[in-house]
């Protein structure tokens, strides 16, 4: 028997990737997928294989006969419609933050804790935050080998992490200022004001072009942002380490796609680079890019640009900590629209399909 699949948020940046990935997925699909979006997108036609599928407005009836519903339409729509889809018989895979910390909803990275996907009392499986997702693919094999106790993480998150609006704003601000380069070298806040005057920031609190913003998301408790708290709470849940110490800083950078994380990971026993490389080399969904540029070895390390369009998470700059033999420092990069969102959702759909 095949699976009837719906994509909720089909017209968005992640929805576009979901549609593309479904075309090459191993899922046994039954008929054309159901594409759902807001009322304003209803009637639009999107490509599917050799034809097109018309986008429908989200409604309860739209989920009738659907086996798998992939949601990427924001937390508010997920809270409103994901329970409805589940009640009508679909297994929901949700890319928003709406259900991630719900004790009855598994939070799953396909390569890290796939078994958790089978236990879904509400009929919903949650996709982690894109930054957490990328880090977990590299952290899990190291945890299995050495016992993770602490993570100090600084993320460098692409504008695309804020969706298509973030990408559009970055490109528009960049284009507006390219012919006015001297204004970017003015003193004080004048350069920022110049960019903001050209294209006022909407997706971000301040101009992102030619800039680095020392926060992602909204500030919440203890002067940390919601993006930083996601790294704390989601890492603990995915790894089943409620006492894991996490010290996060999330930064927005003027990159279209690809999140990078500089991480200092501490373990319960001493660890060497050689041992760490053995664990990383055989990890699923992970590619090691790590050359020092010495003794004829090419200089190699991951970059966001190199991760764009790549299914695997990239890891490099693996090195022993200078102060603590129990700690490693490394650099992890992944395409936030692919592994950080759409790809993991489709992988989870394949896990559900394999249960039959």
Annotation marks residue 215 as catalytic: no
Domains in the chain (CATH in brackets) are 5-128+341-353 (3.40.50.720), 132-161+214-336 (3.30.360.10)
**What are the tens digits of pLDDT across the range 253-269?**
999 999 999 999 999 99
Report the C-alpha gap between 78 and 179 in whole angstroms: 42
Q: Which of 130, 143, 215, 216 is catalytic?
A: 130
How would you classify the pairing of strands 286-288 and 313-320? parallel
3-state secondary structure of 119: coil
Q: What is the DSSP letter of 219?
A: B
Annotation marks residue 216 as catalytic: no
In this prediction, residue 187 has a pLDDT band, given cuts at 50, 70 and 90, of low
Q: Which two tokens stand for residue 71?
A: 């949601």
Task: Give the residue from 74, 41, 77 showing the smallest Cα distance to 57.
Answer: 41
Q: Which of 143, 215, 259, 326 is catalytic?
A: 259
Are the CB atoms for 96 and 17 separated by under 8 Å? no
Task: Give the residue from 48, 39, 84, 49 showing the smallest Cα distance to 63.
Answer: 84
Per-residue confidence (pLDDT) for residue 259, from 0 to 100: 97
Does residue 26 come out as left (phi exceeding 0), alpha (psi in the -120 to 50 range) or beta?
Answer: alpha
**What are the tens digits of pLDDT across the range 4-19?**
999 999 998 899 999 9
In this prediction, residue 295 has a pLDDT band, given cuts at 50, 70 and 90, of confident
**What are the tens digits of pLDDT across the range 55-83?**
999 999 999 999 999 999 999 999 999 99
| % helix, strand, coil for the chain, step of 5 | 40, 25, 40
**What are the tens digits of pLDDT across the range 267-293?**
999 999 999 999 999 999 999 999 877
Mean pLDDT of the chain: 94
**What are the tens digits of pLDDT across the range 110-127?**
999 999 999 999 999 999
């Amino acid at each position: 028997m095949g699976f009837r699949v719906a994509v909720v948020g089909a017209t968005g940046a992640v929805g576009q990737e979901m549609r593309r990935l479904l075309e090459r997925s191993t899922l046994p699909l039954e008929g054309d997928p159901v594409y759902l979006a807001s009322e304003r997108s209803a009637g639009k036609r999107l490509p599917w294989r050799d034809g097109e599928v018309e986008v429908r407005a989200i409604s309860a009836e739209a989920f009738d006969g659907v086996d798998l519903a992939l949601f990427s339409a924001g937390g508010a729509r997920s809270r409103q419609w994901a329970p409805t889809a589940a009640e009508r018989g679909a297994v929901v895979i949700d890319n928003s933050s709406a259900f991630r910390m719900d004790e009855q909803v598994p939070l799953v990275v396909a390569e890290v804790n796939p078994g958790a996907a089978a236990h879904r009392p509400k009929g919903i499986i949650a996709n982690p935050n894109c930054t957490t997702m990328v880090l977990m693919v590299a952290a899990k094999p190291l945890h299995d080998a050495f016992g993770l106790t602490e993570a100090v993480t600084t993320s460098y998150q692409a504008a695309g992490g804020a969706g298509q609006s973030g990408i559009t704003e970055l490109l528009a601000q960049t284009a507006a200022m390219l012919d006015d380069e001297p204004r970017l070298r003015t003193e004080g806040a004048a350069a920022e004001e110049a960019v903001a005057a050209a294209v006022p920031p909407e997706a971000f609190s301040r101009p992102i072009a030619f800039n680095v913003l020392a926060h992602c998301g909204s500030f919440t408790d203890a002067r940390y942002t919601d993006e930083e708290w996601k790294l704390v709470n989601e890492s603990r849940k995915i790894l089943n380490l409620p006492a894991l110490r996490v010290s996060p800083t999330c930064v927005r950078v003027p990159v279209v796609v690809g999140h990078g994380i500089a991480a200092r990971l501490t373990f319960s026993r001493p660890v060497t680079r050689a041992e760490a490389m053995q664990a990383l080399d055989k990890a699923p969904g992970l590619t090691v890019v790590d050359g020092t540029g010495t003794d004829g070895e090419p200089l190699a390390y991951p970059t966001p640009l190199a991760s764009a369009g790549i299914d695997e998470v990239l890891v490099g700059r693996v090195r022993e900590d200078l102060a603590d033999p129990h700690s490693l420092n490394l650099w992890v990069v992944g395409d936030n629209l692919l592994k950080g969102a759409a790809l993991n959702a489709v992988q989870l759909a394949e896990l559900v399909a394999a249960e039959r």
